[in-house]
Structure 1
Amino acid sequence: MLMLNYSSFIIKKLSFGTVATVSLVGLVACQEMPQATKLRTAYIASEGLFQQEVVNIALEKLGYELEVKQLEPPTLHLALGNGDLDFSCAHWEKLYQEFFEKSGGDEKLERVGVIVNNTLQGYQIDKKTADKYKITNIEQLKDPKIAGLFDSDGDGKADLTGCNPGWGCESVIEHHLDVYGLRDTVEHNQGSYNALIADTISRYRQGEPILYYTWTPFWLGSVLKQTKDVIWLEVPFTDLPKGQEEWTKKDTSIEGKNLGFAVDKIRTVARKEFLETSPDAKRLFELVEIPIEDINAQNQLLQEGEDSTVDIRRHAEEWVEKNQELFDNWLEEASKLTS
């Protein structure tokens, strides 16, 4: 994040053995230097910061400065609606529909471009248990005997590694437990997802059955591989909570499997007023698209320990270098609309 303090910036020039110190303020009096526009943005989790940083780098090239925060989904959307943020690249179109509406909806906000298409969410179990007991649908966990296979704490209920409190997936999972009749047999374990999933992976490696919520793009898919290590569970029918009621089986299915969550897309969401005064930024948002495979590969680096904000910024810079021609095309197109 660039935070240049022009008023205190000092240029030192060495000339004929004499050090002349010149304040930049003095230079400005002789030469017009436009002040960079500062934009306020936010991401939700470290797994989504990579694509945000790619966009940030492009915006910096267009002359903007960025102030970046980490916020929970409801807070992020409310901040946009209240004018405390300008944009975010962490908006799941369908999953965050209710947050979008509660923050002013189309009157205050606008969704622009598609950074990642066909993102998935759902429930997975280990393939060994799935094959042995012929488990393909989460509804089968209504059977206490089946649910008991995934009981890791001895309370008789299946332990579902679930969603962080406050995330959009939380309301979907809680709704599913009710409409699929799973309250008596499934426990929704919540907290820090990364900590919970680390324990889940550990139990899998010890040969224990596992049940968990997950999504793509996410590094977990490169650790627990689909069809080799784990399988997606289907749901008996599509039924989603308030704000997502309009989605049907067609919206929640992919490759013939109904996963229960709407197949989604990650988009940029921004204040309308900001977009109206910054056509170059809007055009950039329309153009940016990052292959899901690239995000999965970057997320794997997080799992391997390269998970600081400095690491993630470097990952984004390396991606830009590898995709320089595409990146330059984005800038060229956006620059045509510089206000």
Structure 2
Amino acid sequence: MNVDRPTRGFRVPWKSRKLQRPHWHEKHVIRRLTYLDFLPAPVKGHIVACVGELVGTFMFLLFALGGTNVVNTAPPEGANATDLSANPSKIMYIALVFGMSLAVNAWVFFRISGGLFNPAVTLGLMVVGATGYSRGILIIVSQILGGIAASGVVSAMMPNVLAVKTELGGGTTVVQGLFIEMFLTAQLVFTIFMLATEKHEGTFIAPIGIGLSLFIAELMGIFYTGGSVNPARSFGPAVVTQSFSSYHWIYWVGPILGALLASVFYMFIKALEYETVNNVADPKQALGEKFDLRNRKAKPATHGSVEPDQTVDKAVSRDLGDTYDHSPDLENGHTARD
């Protein structure tokens, strides 16, 4: 018996040796779903992205809505009931659970689908050209389905009534709520553009910054609008509880306007070549391909130090949500490396 591989010394007598996999003990064997090989590479890429966004949105909202339901549950009879909507500890708890859930799940699904989990974010990436329109539409549908599934599971698992619906509070009018959602979403989408879409040495920790961005957005928005910043987050609970408020549309229009605002500002600063202002170009460029914002075409990326008299390349890397869009197969999908 080999002490390094003890199981290789055993043989199962009733199994044919023809059925044994000769390389099953090797560590780096990649097992594929071979019955999908007939599909074209772009179709496989769409499937990977949609499955990743569906599961990722489900996991993100499962923990976020579950934590929100805990603090929104009415206190038992006889207890000292307080106005939970104005409770600072409740606001902090909900903001923290949303921010941490997004950071963790975005980090997990970062290389699978980009870890978007938000139709507004996906729309912004489509506008700036970092994600194709066909891929973006499929991802948005997957995110909405993931939000509905997460709301349904939270409602089924917890003994209390689902209390995670986004509503206006503190005397906020519909117009005020619309603009609050717009600016909070714009801040989140622009953070994603600068930390994840723009490739740099700190791209691998982008989910932390994105989670913190959602955290501060929730701190401001929870009391006034419920802190949606995500149409899938508001639509899922409304479907499960079958309760749509008359102003539910602001949780769609607000984030969409915010994504468009962030996209326009992002394209504006790219057109101004913001990289050349402070002369702080990254010494290590991302390997693979960059995405030309103007021509919307992929081109080879360069790496190495940038000389002071050189002009920084005017390109933005493709978003990780578009990882498999132009790849011949899944193994050679574009990934950003430092």
The TM-score, its normalising length taken from structure 1, stands at 0.28
Greater fraction of residues in helix: 2
- TM-score, length-scaled by structure 2: 0.28
